[in-house]
């Protein structure tokens, strides 16, 4: 996994080359190289090219995630989570974020 400017790329080896793509976007960004060093540089170059292309068009680039998770859960689970968060002196958002952080 590669990370650059908030974007994440995955890489797979394919018959002597490394091919990758940026994940978590609606837009498609791919890159490749003959070595890991080349594919890593190609990943960075692809992100920079994508950002420049968006700027030239006056469009906001797609970002991997907004930080907002629309979530629907059972009301009883919601109550238990809110109660645990309050008992720990946290907001429900803080409590959920900590649980995700420890699970990831």
Task: Answer yes or no: do 9 and 46 share one domain.
Answer: yes
Q: pLDDT value at position 89?
A: 95
Any domain includes 96 = yes
Res. 44: pLDDT tops 90? yes
CB contact at 8 A, 62 and 26: yes
pLDDT in tens, 52-98: 999 999 999 998 777 888 899 999 999 999 999 999 999 999 999 99
Query: Count of domains in the chain?
Result: 2
Any domain includes 83 = yes
Any domain includes 62 = no
Any domain includes 79 = yes
Locate 12 and state its tokens.
């797979």
What's the Cα-to-Cα distance from 19 to each of 8, 33, 97, rounded to whole Å? 14, 7, 33
DSSP secondary structure code for residue 26 in this structure: S
Any domain includes 78 = yes
Task: Answer yes or no: do 38 and 15 share one domain.
Answer: yes
Distance, CA of 56 to chain centre? 24
Task: Answer yes or no: do 7 and 53 share one domain.
Answer: yes
pLDDT in tens, 11-32: 999 888 999 999 989 899 999 9
Closest among 55, 67, 61, 58 to 100, alpha carbons compared: 67
Average the pLDDT over 42-46 and give the result. Answer: 97
Any domain includes 41 = yes
Task: Answer yes or no: do 52 and 6 share one domain.
Answer: yes
Average the pLDDT over 38-56 and give the result. Answer: 97
Q: Range of 79's domain?
A: 69-104
Q: pLDDT value at position 69?
A: 87
């Amino acid at each position: 996994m590669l990370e650059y400017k908030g974007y994440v790329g995955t890489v797979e080896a394919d018959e002597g080359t490394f091919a990758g793509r940026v994940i978590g976007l609606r837009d498609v960004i791919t890159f490749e190289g003959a070595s890991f060093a080349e594919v890593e540089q190609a990943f960075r170059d692809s992100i920079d090219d994508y950002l420049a292309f968006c700027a030239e068009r006056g469009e906001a680039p797609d970002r991997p995630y907004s930080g907002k998770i629309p979530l629907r859960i059972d009301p009883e689970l919601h109550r238990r989570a809110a109660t645990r968060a309050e008992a720990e002196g946290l907001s429900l958002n803080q409590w959920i974020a900590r649980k995700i952080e420890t699970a990831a």
